[in-house]
Amino acid sequence: MRFGYFDNPSKEYVITQPNTPLPWINYLGCDEYCALISNTAGGYSFLGDPRDQRILRYRYDNIPFDRGGRYLYIRDDDSGEFFSPTWQPTNQKIQNSKSKILNKSKFSNSKSQTISNYECRHGLGYTIISSEYGGIESKITYFVPLGENLEIWRLEIRNPRSEIAKLSLFSFVEFCLWDAVGDSSNFQRTWSIGKAHCEENTIYHTTLYNSWMNIFAYFSTSEKIHSFDCQRRDFLGNYGYNSLEAPLAVVRGNCSNSVAIGWAPIGSHCVKLKLEPGEKKTIVFVLGVSNKIPNNKSQKTNKSQILNSKLKNKIHKKIRKFQDPKIIEKELRKLRGYWDDNLSRLQIETPDQDMNTSINIWNSYQCMQTFNWSRYASYYEAGIGRGMGFRDSCQDTLGFAHMIPDKVRARILDLARVQFEDGSCHHQYSPITKKGTLYNYSDDQLWLILATANYIKETGDFGILDEEVAFAKRQELVPAPIGHYNKSEIRDPRSEIKSKKQIPKASLYEHLSRAIDYTWKHRGKHGLPLSLFSDWNDCLNLDEGAESVFVACLFVEACREMEKMLRAAGNKLHEIAKYHKLAEKMTKIVNAKAWDGKWFKRAYNGDGKPVGSKKCSEGKIFLEPQPWAIISGVAKRKRAKQTMDSVFVKLFTKYGIRLLTPAFQRYYPEYGEISTYPPGLKENASIFCHPNPWAIVAECVLGRGDRAFEYYKAILPVSQNNQAHIRKTEPYVYCQMVAGPNHPDFGEGKNSWLTGSAAWNYMAATQFILGIKPDYEGLVIDPCVPKKWKSFTVKRVFRKDTYFIKVNNPKAKSKGVKLIRVDGRKINNRVITPFGDGREHIIEVEI
Ligand code: NOJ
């Protein structure tokens, strides 16, 4: 069963039924302002950091599931009946999208009518939800204009009936008091600090959570308002016991002009509309934030200081600008152009339509959102704990470097800033303060090498290696206080940035080199790297002294990358030998100590017992080290094939490759968190999507294109569209995991959007299956495709040039480039040396 379809010419996914198995969401905003919106207008917004600058309140795990959002209510003032054009929160009956509305009926006095012609178009950076109820047609376009800290809701409402429609329109948002942690926990305080009021048709949310919070929100409408509410309890009525399904203001037909001084600040406008038969009207709402409060000495600041007339004029000018329908159209065009540009850097045409849809549109789009927000803010990550993950952010750059390389450059330097002098690093950091938390993970620092190498290969910018970056201090681990009202505990991220004493700095290259040294110095009894709290698998928490085979392989790959990087840079050539030797030594250790007969062991526990071995009763084989043994070149020839055959035989299912088998049936203290999950979920033998593409890459290295593609398709969300009732998560984006065969919900996805599967699947598909791989010397062409593919084309912008690549496969092979012609001239290797002329070039390839 499906709930929608891909409209590729418009680059939209169209949801045709509002009651999707889970909220199907979109991200609006490409920079600091981020708005999550579901297909029924649920969601929240924040600026720069979902924890410290949360604009709209969202209630995770609520009943009903998706609450807090950008809601509108439309009320027929003759009958008193009302509905939400986004279906929620009024929850009208749904008319099957296939049946037709025959009469343009009026509202009746009961909820007997159905919402019909519902459609939600999630586009790139915008969402349009339209529907019809009681003969009133509405369409709302939500988006964040490029470079602005605001969101626009444009309502187009039409009365196709033969009589005048007298309507009341209500808006509704609930403000978060900025600090999302305090807002959802410290009620003894937060219920007394909220402040919101209305001036003309603009509602201001001016709660000052902390003295340093130099921010306020405004919510305005293009219409003259009849009334407003800024206090939730007055809008809902019955002291706040009513729900958003039928707020008193809407039932009654007007707001009560409430002001919030304490309790829960909201924004609701009530607008009276009279629509003639056939008349259409456009009404715009602008919700935004500003941080230009002239006086930020908190306790003394009052409303008039915050909203002095100069600032108000500035805000009003902005609001007026974005209420202008022409400007809105222009901004929408700009947004579309921005995405067309980003996507046009890599476009493909292969025999597989699902792959084309994913790579050309959705996978790329998801790569930007994962790059922007790591694993911080989604419908499954509450945006209050984790911050930007170090290893996750490093890997996220892999799918994004070709799109906006400058942002990747800045991110790599930010990441280096949370590395300690000894080469290890914080596990995560705040996007505003850049301050890290948690450490003692064994793999984090090595990913920085892969991210940097990929960035330089894409851009040729070796200069990044010379950038001086300060090291982090370990004492930054001290947890940030949650209650911020005690002066001594006030946490002002801006002042931290200013006062941060820059302790020793070193070049980025030195940072990378220390990452290698750290891993080499921290090894265990077998000579393998220590696993520490965990490696990539957060939930495999082994004993003290445990060693990780996965990190060993990653280390070899990192050393190889260092070697190649120096060779290409023509710099520090004397250090090449060091990395070469380290890689060789570790390769020997892994082959001697970690080979289990048919696959590689996962680890050794502190007591020397193997993990992920045929000797184990559960968890005999784990996925992670197998592909990395091939990618890094640790496993060669027969052993490499044997390893990946074991993955196929033991771990592959119709929905992808599970993380391990057999699943752990009970809790084992010596394995840690992994065994707390029921079999088939999360790290305990689910189909964890992130490492699946590693197996695709490994199969491509081995030249087995059919198997690589089988893996690619098994995990591809687009290909799940027709069984969305099983998958449940959005068919347009990857999710973190899919329940494994041990679980009753086999095939059900969980935790969509922010996952390393986005970047890695993109990388596996474009650089390994299609084989268009940036390298230091140029663009390497080395596809590994299904044998039955006769040809495919790729448009790739690389450095300054645009390549139109056509690959023919007349002999039905998977791999092995026989011939390359560049602008008609045969070349003798597989590398297209950059022209640097900013022109278009034709590349013909034969496998
Ligand atoms: C999700 C985490 O964000 C990621 O860092 C980790 O590698 C995987 N879970 C596996 O545990």
**Residue 122 DSSP label:** E
pLDDT band at 210 (very low <50, low <70, confident <90, very high): confident
Quick one: pLDDT at residue 2?
Answer: 96
- pLDDT tens track for 266-290: 999 999 999 999 999 999 999 999 9
Q: What is the rounded distance in angstroms from the CA atom of residue 446 to the CA atom of residue 399? A: 17
- Is 538 noted as a catalytic residue in this protein? yes
Give the tens place of pLDDT for each residue, 384-430.
988 999 999 999 999 999 999 999 999 999 999 999 999 999 999 99
CB 536 near ligand 1, within 6 Å: yes
Query: What pLDDT is recorded for position 491?
Result: 47
Choose one of 393, 689, 690 to mutate for the ligand 1 pocket test, by most ligand atoms within 8 angstroms of C-beta.
Answer: 690
pLDDT(99) > 60:
no
Query: Above pLDDT 90, what percent of the chain?
Result: 89
Choose the residue to mutate in 538, 540, 682 for probing ligand 1, maximizing ligand atoms within 8 Å of C-beta: 538
* CA–centroid distance, residue 747 to ligand 1 (Å): 20
Q: How far is CA 652 from CA 94, 150, 657, 661, 683, in A?
A: 39, 45, 4, 10, 15
The size of the chain, in residues, is: 847
pLDDT of 342 higher than 90: yes
- Host H or E run for residue 447: helix 444-459
Provide CB contacts within 8 A for 477, sequence distance 6+: 426, 436, 437, 438, 439
332 — pLDDT class (breaks 50, 70, 90): very high
Q: Is 539 in the pocket of ligand 1 (CB under 6 A)?
A: yes
Residues 627/663, Cβ–Cβ less than 8 Å: no
Q: What percent of the chain has pLDDT over 70?
A: 93
**717 C-alpha to ligand 1 centroid (Å):** 19
Which amino acid is located at 422 in the chain? D
Tokens in use for 373?
């927000």
pLDDT digits (tens, 9 = 90+) for 763-809: 999 999 999 999 999 999 999 999 999 999 999 999 999 999 999 99
H or E segment at 286?
A: strand 280-290
**Is the pLDDT confidence value at 103 over 70?**
no
Mean pLDDT score, 85-110: 69
Residue of 31, 78, 422, 538 with catalytic role: 538
Long-range contacts, stretch 434-441, CB < 8 angstroms, 24+ apart: 434/497, 435/476, 435/493, 435/496, 436/390, 436/472, 436/476, 436/477, 437/387, 437/476, 437/477, 437/479, 438/477, 439/474, 439/477, 440/532, 440/533, 441/390, 441/391, 441/532, 441/533, 441/534, 441/535
535 lines ligand 1 (CB under 6 A): no
Q: What is the atom index within ligand 1 of the atom nearest the CA of 534? A: 11
Q: What pLDDT, on a 0 to 100 scale, did the predictor assign at position 477?
A: 46
Q: Is the CB of 537 under 6 A from ligand 1?
A: yes
Of 491-505, 517-531, 654-668, give the lowest mean pLDDT range. Answer: 491-505
Cα 387 to chain centroid distance, Å, stands at: 13
From the CB of 389, is ligand 1 less than 6 Å away?
A: yes
Tokens 């909201």: give the residue: 266
Distance of CA 652 to the CA centre of its chain: 26
Mean pLDDT lowest among 351-355, 431-435, 819-823: 431-435
Spacing, Cα 237 to ligand 1 middle (Å): 44
Closest CA to 623 of 588, 581, 669, 658: 658
How wide is the angle at C-alpha 594 spanned by C-alphas 588 and 597, nearest 5°?
110
Nearest ligand 1 atom to alpha carbon 536: 7
Spatial separation of the C-alpha atoms in residues 248 and 255, rounded to whole Å: 8
Q: Structure tokens of 700?
A: 């491509």
Let me know: does 368 contact 403? Beta carbons within 8 Å: yes
Nearest by Cα to 697 from 652, 650, 632:
632
> Per-residue confidence at 475, pLDDT binned at 50, 70, 90?
low
Looking at residue 306, its pLDDT comes to 64
Quick one: pLDDT band at residue 214, thresholds 50, 70, 90? confident
How far is it, in rounded angstroms, from Cα 452 to Cα 204? 44
Q: What is the mean pLDDT of the chain?
A: 93
Q: What is the pLDDT of residue 495?
A: 46
**Which pair of structure tokens corresponds to residue 698?**
């490994």
Question: Mind listing the pLDDT tens digit for each residue in 581-626?
Answer: 999 999 999 999 999 999 999 999 999 999 999 999 999 999 999 9
Give, to the nearest 10 degrees, the angle between helix 549-569 and helix 576-593: 160
Helix (H, G, I), strand (E, B) or coil at 807: strand
380 pocket-lining for ligand 1 (C-beta < 6 Å): no
Q: Give the separation between CA 500 and CA 651, rounded to whole angstroms.
A: 48
How many Å apart are CA 45 and CA 348, to the nearest integer?
A: 33
Cα–ligand 1 centroid distance for 538 (angstroms): 6
Decide if 265 contacts 235 (C-beta within 8 A).
Answer: no
Give me the mean pLDDT over the 209-218 stretch: 85
Tokens of 758: 């986005």
Look at residue 105 and tell me whether its pLDDT is greater than 90: no
The rounded distance, in Å, linking the Cα atoms of 213 and 484 is: 11
